[in-house]
Structure 1
Amino acid sequence: MVAKRCVLLLLLNIFYAFSQIPHDISYVVGCFENGTTEVQFEFDAEEVLYVDFERQEVVYTVPKFLVLDPTKLFENMHVYNNAMKAKRACKPLVEFMKVEEKKPPEEKDPPESILYPAEDVQFGVENSLTCFVNHFYPPYIKVSWTKNGRPVSEGVSLSRYYPNNDQTFHQFSTLTFTPMEGDMYSCTVEHSALDSPKTRIWEPESTPPGLGPDIFCGVGLTVGLVGVAVGTFLMVKGHHRQ
């Protein structure tokens, strides 16, 4: 806890040098019952970096058009080392919370999903389908695709999962494809909170060029480099959600 407070104080000094406009920056540590740990910084509830423990590195998600070199903002702050300290503290903390709450089962939230094309559909023209999965906890899902009832793996990508304000998560899976008349695609989501996999089906309908609304779906990232009101959150998901 001392290491975390030192990090936040350094951030406070850096950002107040730019402006007196108040903003919230949060150092978030997520401790989960399966032994995994999530560490990230948020600016006004938007992620600016997270720690990838598997690759042993800090990943900056702030857009480069806002900050050319975000590493300089966190220079000499030992983000990864402090994240490792937080990770080591997670296991005993989770065990303590289990004892305090008489070991209740982990609370779970089933995912919701929608399936939509990125662009207006034209037969024979490459496009992409997005399967947007939202409001699930814990943050582990499996997404699979089919074309005309057959499994598809080529052209499939899966984003990392992102936190929502209610401590659930969302994630994107995309499929690059060339729509043809009569084809049928599906996106199936599996999650521990679901009694059975949830499947969404999509069939292409060609839209003449220049007609039809554009479809946009994304997660906005609003980041500023101004004054800060610091908040610290340690998320230990248990029977009671804060």
Structure 2
Amino acid sequence: MMMMMMKVSELVLVLSCVLCVSADVFHEDLAIGGCSDTDGEEMYSLDGEEKWYADFINKRGVEPLPSFIDHISYQEGTYEQAEADQQICRQNLKVDQQMYKNTPLQFDPPSSPMIYTRDKVELGVKNTLICHVSGFYPAPVNVSWTKNEQKVTEGTSINVPFPLKDGSFTQISRLDFIPQLGDVYTCTVRHPALNQPLTRIWGETQHLSVSRCAVFCGVGLTVGLLGVAAGTFFLIKGNECS
């Protein structure tokens, strides 16, 4: 399947295939190669998990799967081949720009992003905030983070756009952080199809809900203990009178 995606003077080509490994089991093996006037992408995945992608900024290949998961290591020269593919892609891009210069542009905005933590929240313990953005076209989206209304860049990362079966894309941005009481974080998503950015908040409301629960539970426990003590007192007094 080949889809052509245009954004002003940009065009991205996406190639996908399904690999059948037995009569009973199917696996989706996906390869993406794309370019624009200023950027490029090459990525390989299996069953929705990224196996390898080219980091054209730091000029290296990246295997994003955790070290404890068995995964295929790509042979030496894979990144260099990706750079060569980019040259071919840009040559094709110039031709396609001429052919489709009057084609109406299509834009689909992302659905409401989701923000959540990777692990259960413990104050003072390192964790990761995840901002999940999906359903947009064309790729990519721009995701930015703030902490207490101050922009944050350290500890942030974002994966390459991942195509969905309906032709739209999904991306996940991450922020490494240490939860502290009162801290408020935001994830803001920008895309050409949006009239204004989408922002989701994590922090104060979660801490308040924990604090309020602790207060109410503490009050309930105190009242309960007072009730038990009062009942015991009157029971003893009643026995003495009899």
When normalised by structure 1's length, the TM-score is: 0.60
Cα deviation 1:193-231 (Å, max 9, x = unaligned): 22112222333221779xxxxxxxxxxxxxxxxxxxxxx
- Matches of 1:126 and 1:62, distance apart in 2: 20
Is the 1:184–1:201 Cα contact (8 Å) retained in structure 2? Answer: yes
Is the 1:164–1:170 Cα contact (8 Å) retained in structure 2? Answer: no
- Structure showing the higher helix proportion among its residues: 2
Higher alpha-carbon Rg: 2
* Aligned residue in 1 for 2:87: 88
> Do the aligned partners of residues 121 and 48 (structure 1) sit closer, same or farther apart at CA in structure 2, a change above 3 Å counting?
closer
- Say which SS state the counterpart of residue 42 (structure 1) adopts: strand
* Aligned residue in 2 for 1:104: 103
- Quote the sequence identity (%): 25
Are 1:171 and 2:167 an aligned pair?
no
Cα deviation 1:55-89 (Å, max 9, x = unaligned): 22211234433437x33xx336x322321221001
* Aligned residue in 1 for 2:50: 47
Structure 2: runs of 5+ lacking an equivalent: 1-18, 215-242
- Matches of 2:63 and 2:189, distance apart in 1: 28
Alignment of 1:4-153 (within 5 A): 23-32=27-36, 34-67=37-70, 70-71=72-73, 74-75=74-75, 78-104=77-103, 106-111=105-110, 112-121=112-121, 128-136=128-136, 137-147=138-148, 150-153=149-152
- Say which SS state the counterpart of residue 93 (structure 1) adopts: helix
Range with bigger deviation, 199-208 or 47-56: 199-208
Is the 1:128–1:176 Cα contact (8 Å) retained in structure 2? Answer: yes
> Do the aligned partners of residues 106 and 143 (structure 1) sit closer, same or farther apart at CA in structure 2, a change above 3 Å counting?
farther
> Do the aligned partners of residues 146 and 63 (structure 1) sit closer, same or farther apart at CA in structure 2, a change above 3 Å counting?
closer
- Matches of 1:159 and 1:193, distance apart in 2: 20
* Aligned residue in 2 for 1:157: 156
Question: Greater relative contact order: 1 or 2 (C-alpha under 8 angstroms, separation 6 or more)?
Answer: 1
- Matches of 2:28 and 2:151, distance apart in 1: 42
Residue 39 of structure 1: how far off its partner (Å):
0.9
* Aligned residue in 2 for 1:206: 210
AA of the residue aligned to 2:142: I
Task: State the aligned residue count.
Answer: 186
Residue 99 of structure 1: how far off its partner (Å):
2.5
Structure 1: runs of 5+ lacking an equivalent: 1-11, 210-242
- Matches of 1:28 and 1:154, distance apart in 2: 27
AA of the residue aligned to 2:81: N
AA of the residue aligned to 2:172: Q
- Matches of 2:101 and 2:41, distance apart in 1: 24
Range with bigger deviation, 154-163 or 88-97: 154-163
- Matches of 1:37 and 1:154, distance apart in 2: 22
